[in-house]
Structure 1
């Protein structure tokens, strides 16, 4: 969604630069500007809803290649929305409408558990209704869906509640334990986005023994190094967020990490998780990568 400035808005701006008396023009100019702003908000809202409807139409399709196209469109749309506070607000408004909600569509299609579609009888051949077959989600589709889920939860906090309604944590933990590196990396980012401000999702993560699963991945010295680094970043972000918590969920996360990764690595993670609160986003991201590398090195020493 890339919006061009309306031609009539440019005309209004040019009219304001005329040499007539500003005192005489002030009331009329104010009224016209308010009208222009109102029309512009309506136009942007139409663009937002159109982009959502177009992306969701494909994301709900029966064939994987169409769903991938829809997910790419939605991801591009979310990146465009994130550039402006006003468009973020409009996106949040659209998520109160069930037909425009993105998260349910993800769990009903791309992130849906595969079902047994074996044909038990041939009644559909002789009937009016054809047999409906949905192609399974590919690795690329699952990874894209997780990125879209991450974006929705970061832009719209209520999307975490929608994710919880669709049992997001068990679904994502299954992806983390059974899928490939591409999906696992996207899954870790999505887990952070749906857990940071959601106690319900944090409780589900604790129930699913999520820390044990992440610890198993980061301890695997034969595993993909980038995935292990991503696990380190995940632990740093999560522990930094829940640090000092004395009540569930995740109240015992420090003890769990110490038990699973050892005293030295656990202490390093705890200390490193306090980094960068005064840094700008780019410096904070760089610091996160550096600290995750140190965590990995501390594990590889043993």
Structure 2
């Protein structure tokens, strides 16, 4: 969604500032500015709904290549929305409309288990209606769907509730244990996004032994090194988020990490998880990479 500013909007901005006599609320310039603001909001909302309807239409398709096209459009749309607070607000409003909700479509089409497509009976053979068959999700489709899920949850916190209703944590843990490196990488980012400030999803992660799954990947030297680093970053972000919250659903995470990684590595994880809260986002990202590397090196030496 890339909007060009209308010419009449620029004309209003070029108008001379009002004098003291015209500064009251009923001045013609104020009325025009309010009208321009209202028209702009309506125009942006139409663009938001159009982008969502177009992307979701393809994301519901029977064929994977069409779903991939729809997911790419949705991901591009979310990246554009993230650049404007007003666009984020409009996107959040749109997610209260059932037919515009993104998260349910992801779990019903791209992130569903392939076993759900297995034929339960042969009744369709004797019926007039042909059986509707949907192509399975490709690796690229799953990775894209996870990125879209991450974006939705970061921009719209209520999307984490929708994800919980579709049993997001068990689905993502299955992807983490069965898919390739690209999907596992995207899965770890999506897991963080749906667990932030979501007790229900944190409880599901705990019940699915999520820490054990991530720690196993982190310890396995046969696993791709970049994925192991991503697992280290995941633990640092998760522990940094729940640290000090005794009533958190994951209050025992410190004991779990000590048991799974050993005392030395666990101590490093706990200390490193508090990396520079006063740093800007770019510096925090750099610090996160450095600390994850140190955790990985401590495991390899242990």
SS at match of 2:226: helix
Partner of 1:84: 84
CA offsets, 1:142-187, max 9 Å, x none?
Answer: 0000000000000000000000000000000000011111100000
Whole-angstrom distance in 2 between the partners of 1:126 and 1:90: 46
Answer yes or no: is 1:146 the counterpart of 2:158.
no
Q: How does 1:1-302 map to 2 (within 5 A)?
A: 1-14=1-14, 16-17=15-16, 22-23=19-20, 26=23, 27-114=27-114, 115-118=116-119, 120-121=121-122, 123=124, 127=128, 129-302=129-302
| Secondary structure at the counterpart of residue 239 of structure 2 | helix
Aligned-CA RMSD value: 1.6
Aligned residues of 1:143 and 1:183 also touching (Cα < 8 A)? yes
Q: Tell me the secondary structure at the aligned position of residue 110 of structure 2.
A: coil
Task: Give the deviation of 1:247 after TM superposition.
Answer: 2.6
The structure-2 alpha-carbon separation of the partners of 1:28 and 1:124, relative to structure 1 and needing over 3 Å to count, comes to farther
Instruction: Output the CA distance in 2 between the equivalents of 1:194 and 1:266.
Output: 24
Shift of 1:48: 0.5
Deviation (angstroms), 1:262 = 0.3
- Once the 2 structures are TM-superposed, how far is the Cα of residue 246 of structure 1 from its aligned partner? 1.8
Asked if structure 1 preserves the Cα contact closer than 8 Å seen for 2:154 and 2:193, the reply is yes
Unaligned runs of 5+ residues in structure 1 are none
| Distance in 2, Cα, partners of 1:121 & 1:238 | 47
Q: Contact 2:265–2:298 at 8 Å: present in 1 too?
A: yes
8 A contact 2:229–2:292 mirrored in 1: yes
> Are residues 3 and 291 of structure 1, via their aligned partners in 2, closer, same or farther at CA, if it must alter by over 3 Å?
same
- Normalising by structure 2, what TM-score? 0.95
Q: What is the deviation of 1:24?
A: 5.9
Separation of aligned partners in 1, 2:218 and 2:137: 26
- Superposition deviation, residue 117 in structure 1: 3.6
Tell me the distance in 2 between the aligned counterparts of 1:240 and 1:110: 31
Q: TM-score, normalised by structure 1?
A: 0.95
Q: CA offsets per residue over residues 227-272 of structure 1, 9 Å max, x none?
A: 0000000000000011122234111100000000000000000000
> CA shift at 1:123, angstroms?
4.7
The runs of at least 4 consecutive aligned structure 1 residues that moved more than 2 Å come to 10-14, 21-26, 115-126
Distance in 2 between residues matched to 1:288 and 1:158, nearest whole Å: 27
- Contact persistence 1:117–1:133 (CA under 8 A): no
5+ residue gaps in structure 2?
Answer: none
Is the Cα–Cα contact under 8 Å of residues 124 and 130 in structure 2 kept in the other structure?
no
CA deviations on 1:58-97 (whole Å, 9 max, x unpaired) are: 0111100000000000000000000011000000000000
Instruction: Give 1:196 deviation, angstroms.
Output: 1.1
